[in-house]
């Protein structure tokens, strides 16, 4: 059973009081209690079952502009007192940092919203096992599926409290459920794999076992008979599951940290139009039941929806207290990173885009690390489907697609098939041209 909010809050306040007694000018404490359960199947048989419970405490103490932090999972009173003493002694000998310190008190969240992030239901192991059996039975109903590369059902429950010495002490319960199925298809000696998954805050909103198993099998079967293609320049369509990798790369390039250190290829682009006018990129922490939702960040700063890109114009960074001070910009509560990041739907239908292509590459999977945020170079292995004369012609593998992110961003067209399946989401994306290296 999870520790209560009051239990964690009381412990946080004791740590703050003790730290202040020993000379800290400011204090931050984060406590979390996490319970995770997972069951893994392979080829219709139970492979592994795990359960873990973790208690953790992170303490940061300040003495003026000096700062240090420690962490522990041992909540014994004597251990905590020793931990606080060590943290204070470490702070005393730490170098000063003019940007170190808590956020301004008026930046803190003073009215925490209930974002409906917690499902109280506890699913039995029998339920999870039966779900996985049904999922793999559906997957194996496809004659081409000869093997399972693993299926899993995970349940996670957590309680979190963050407190500081200027009056903030809030937290929330959260839950998540995820199912995963990876199928191996085989035909004429060739083997291909693909997967399907479903993640949700609430167990009742997961896809059905048959849906997940069927989609995993269908995707794997579509890859059979894959060919290599001749190198050249082609229009590219990133399927929405793949498209969000471009969004994640963009997010890494627009953090306050990357700008403060001057390592982002976009460091001179804030306020400029770097995408087509159809591109709108939003980070929204306040979506009800969202997988990345939160009322406040990991410093207690209030969260609001922000436009990172509006009508193609790069308008905001992801900023925490420290880096906002360096850059002399307003803190927008992104300590800990992004929340629910997505590209808004465009007006164009995926089927229509496919029907208009004489020859194009529909990317279904990326293999390896892609974009380099320091120079914008983009090169990654890929597999997918070749489009010829407006129709899906055959599967493709063992190719590399390459360009520069600056050019890719300018050529992006968002399609209209956005789904909120994870905390980073994108509709499928059409790119006018990229280099495709094949045989």
> 369-403 pLDDT, tens per residue?
778 999 999 999 999 999 999 999 999 998 999 99
Based on the fold, state whether residues 33 and 108 are members of the same structural domain: yes
| Residue 265 to residue 377: CA distance in whole angstroms | 9
* Residue 42, number of CB atoms within 10 A of its CB: 17
What is the pLDDT at residue 251?
97
| Residue 303 to residue 316: CA distance in whole angstroms | 14
Evaluate whether residue 17 is within a structural domain: yes
pLDDT digits (tens, 9 = 90+) for 256-308: 999 999 999 999 999 999 999 999 999 999 999 999 999 999 999 999 999 99
Q: Quick one: which H or E segment has residue 58?
A: strand 45-63
pLDDT digits (tens, 9 = 90+) for 79-94: 999 999 999 999 999 9
* Domain boundaries, position 368: 225-245+345-437
* Cα dihedral 142/145/148/151 (nearest 10): -30
Split at pLDDT 50, 70, 90, the class of 439 is: confident
For residue 10, give the CATH number of its domain: 3.30.2290.10
What is the pLDDT at residue 41?
95
Alpha-helix residue ranges (DSSP H) falling in 223-367: 240-253, 256-260, 321-327, 350-355
Split at pLDDT 50, 70, 90, the class of 1 is: confident
Size (the chain), residues: 439
Based on the fold, state whether residues 88 and 209 are members of the same structural domain: yes
What is the pLDDT at residue 378?
96
Evaluate whether residue 52 is within a structural domain: yes
Based on the fold, state whether residues 190 and 165 are members of the same structural domain: yes
Evaluate whether residue 278 is within a structural domain: no
Evaluate whether residue 336 is within a structural domain: no
Beta-bridged to residue 40, according to DSSP, are 48, 152
Q: Is the pLDDT of residue 313 over 90?
A: yes
357: nearest Cα among 308, 413, 317: 413
Q: Quick one: which H or E segment has residue 407?
A: helix 405-411
185: nearest Cα among 159, 146, 219: 146
Q: Is the pLDDT of residue 8 over 80?
A: yes
Q: Quick one: which H or E segment has residue 371?
A: none
Alpha-helix residue ranges (DSSP H) falling in 67-202: 77-92, 125-140
| Residue 144 to residue 364: CA distance in whole angstroms | 19
CA 266 to chain CA centroid, nearest Å? 21
Evaluate whether residue 253 is within a structural domain: no
Evaluate whether residue 40 is within a structural domain: yes
* Structure token pair of residue 356: 């208009």
What is the pLDDT at residue 188?
87
Based on the fold, state whether residues 217 and 356 are members of the same structural domain: no
Predicted TM-score (pTM) of this structure:
0.95
371: nearest Cα among 278, 243, 228: 243
Alpha-helix residue ranges (DSSP H) falling in 180-289: 209-222, 240-253, 256-260
Q: Are 153 and 147 in contact (CB under 8 A)?
A: no
Q: Quick one: which H or E segment has residue 40?
A: strand 26-42
Based on the fold, state whether residues 89 and 26 are members of the same structural domain: yes
pLDDT digits (tens, 9 = 90+) for 18-34: 999 999 999 999 999 99
**How much of the chain exceeds pLDDT 90, in percent?**
95
Number of domains, the chain: 2
Based on the fold, state whether residues 369 and 413 are members of the same structural domain: yes
Q: Is the pLDDT of residue 215 over 90?
A: yes
């Amino acid at each position: 059973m999870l520790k209560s909010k009051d239990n964690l809050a009381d412990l946080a306040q004791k740590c703050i009081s003790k730290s202040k007694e020993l000379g800290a000018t400011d204090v931050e404490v984060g406590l979390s209690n996490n319970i995770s359960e997972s069951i893994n199947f392979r080829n219709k048989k139970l492979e592994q079952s795990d359960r873990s419970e973790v208690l953790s405490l992170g303490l940061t103490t300040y003495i003026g502009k000096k700062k240090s932090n420690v962490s522990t999972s041992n909540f014994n009173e004597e251990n905590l007192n020793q931990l606080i003493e060590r943290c204070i002694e470490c702070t005393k000998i730490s170098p000063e940092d003019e940007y170190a310190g808590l956020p301004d008190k008026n930046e803190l969240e003073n009215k925490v919203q209930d974002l409906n992030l917690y499902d109280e239901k506890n699913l039995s192991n029998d339920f999870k096992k039966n779900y996985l059996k049904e999922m793999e039975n559906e997957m194996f109903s496809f004659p081409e599926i000869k093997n399972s590369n693993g299926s899993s059902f995970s349940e996670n429950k957590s309680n979190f409290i963050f407190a500081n010495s200027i009056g903030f002490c809030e937290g929330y319960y959260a839950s998540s459920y995820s199912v995963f199925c990876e199928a191996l298809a085989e035909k004429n000696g060739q083997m291909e794999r693909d997967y399907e998954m479903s993640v949700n805050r609430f167990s009742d909103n997961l896809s059905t076992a048959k849906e997940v198993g069927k989609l995993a099998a269908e995707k794997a079967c579509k890859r059979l008979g894959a060919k290599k293609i001749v190198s050249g320049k082609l229009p590219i369509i990133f399927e929405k599951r793949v498209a969000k990798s471009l969004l994640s790369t963009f997010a890494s390039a627009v953090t306050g940290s990357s700008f403060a250190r001057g390592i982002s290829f976009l460091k001179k682009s804030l306020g400029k139009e770097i995408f087509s006018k159809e591109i709108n990129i939003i980070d929204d922490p306040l979506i009800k039941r969202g997988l990345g939702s939160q009322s406040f960040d990991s410093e207690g700063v209030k969260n609001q929806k922000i436009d990172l890109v509006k009508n193609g114009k790069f308008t905001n960074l992801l900023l925490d207290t420290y880096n906002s001070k360096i850059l002399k910009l307003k803190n927008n509560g992104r300590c800990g990173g992004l929340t629910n990041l997505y590209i808004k739907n465009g007006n164009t239908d995926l089927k229509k885009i496919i029907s208009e292509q004489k020859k194009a590459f529909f990317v279904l999977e990326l293999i390896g690390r892609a974009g380099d945020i320091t120079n914008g170079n983009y090169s990654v292995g890929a597999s997918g489907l070749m489009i010829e004369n407006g129709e899906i012609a055959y599967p493709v593998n063992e190719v590399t697609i390459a360009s520069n992110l600056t050019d890719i961003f300018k050529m992006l067209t968002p399609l209209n098939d956005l789904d909120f399946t994870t905390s980073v989401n994108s509709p499928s994306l059409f790119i006018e041209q990229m280099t495709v290296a094949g045989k």
